[in-house]
Homo-oligomer: A and B are copies of this chain.
Amino acid sequence: MDEVFLTHLKTKFSLVFHDLSYLEEAFTHSSYVNEHRNLKLKDNERIEFLGDAVLELTVSRFLYELYPDVPEGKLTRLRATIVCEVSLSQFAKEYEFDQFIRLGKGEERMNGRKRPALLCDLFESFIGALYLDQGIDSVLFFLEQTIFPKINSGAFSHVMDHKTNLQEFLQQKGEIGIEYQLVDEIGPAHQKAFVVEVLAEGQSLGQGQGTTKKAAEQVAAENALLALLEK
């Protein structure tokens, strides 16, 4: 394994691998294996399979504790925004993993080193290698220096705000007036639910129901977005 990378892991994240073969496996793309069949190398796909599940759990637990009152649906959406190709490929670049993966010549020529799917897999493979080498606590130690602070600072929380999402979607085509109107209050006083309608330029885009007006607005915005995206 590249000494520069080992030093990078040590100085930047205080990480030292015991068994370098995990790290080598994680940083070996199938295109490299195919071009060096005589070396009988392992590509990073199996270790990525494991790393993906490790990330899902560690991020899930972190979100579960960070947001004790957020319902499951929102947690799932938030997790999907963190454990996804866009985010993980950015992390791989930010932490300079992209510089150290072994690629085949063809993949290199095709700019594979910048390909988001490849970088996302690489990030998950690294997590898998760390997990196999040192267990889940070391993965948490790494995430506490990298992804968790980003989550804490609200870098992903926008996905939970459907009103903002709807606004951004509609305003792709220029300024547009969005209104939320309370159209009904249902149920007895102690179990009241509000029904809110969302309108763009006076035209209804959908309704939502919730136990507060604010919650009903979010649901209305989400329903409107879902309907617009299905068109």
Number of copies: 2
| 1/0 contact string of A56-72 vs chain B (CB within 8 Å) | 11001100100000011
Q: Of the 9-residue stretches A46-54, A178-186, A219-227, which lies at the interface with chain B?
A: A46-54
Q: What's the minimum C-beta distance from A210 to chain B, rounded to whole angstroms?
A: 13
The yes or no answer to A40 lying at the interface (CB within 8 A) is no
How near does chain B come to A45, taking the closest CB pair, in angstroms? 4
Among B48, B50, B64, B71, point to the contact of A61 (Cβ < 8 A): B50
Q: Which residues of B contact A71 (CB under 8 A)?
A: 45-46
Question: For A56, what are the chain B residues with a Cβ–Cβ distance below 8 Å?
Answer: 53, 56-57
- New A-B contacts (15) at CB < 8 Å, excluding given A46-B72, A54-B57, A56-B56: A34-B191, A37-B190, A45-B71, A45-B72, A46-B64, A46-B71, A46-B75, A49-B64, A49-B72, A49-B76, A50-B61, A50-B64, A53-B56, A53-B61, A57-B57
Q: List 5 A-B contacts (CB under 8 A).
A: A45-B71, A48-B72, A52-B60, A53-B60, A136-B136
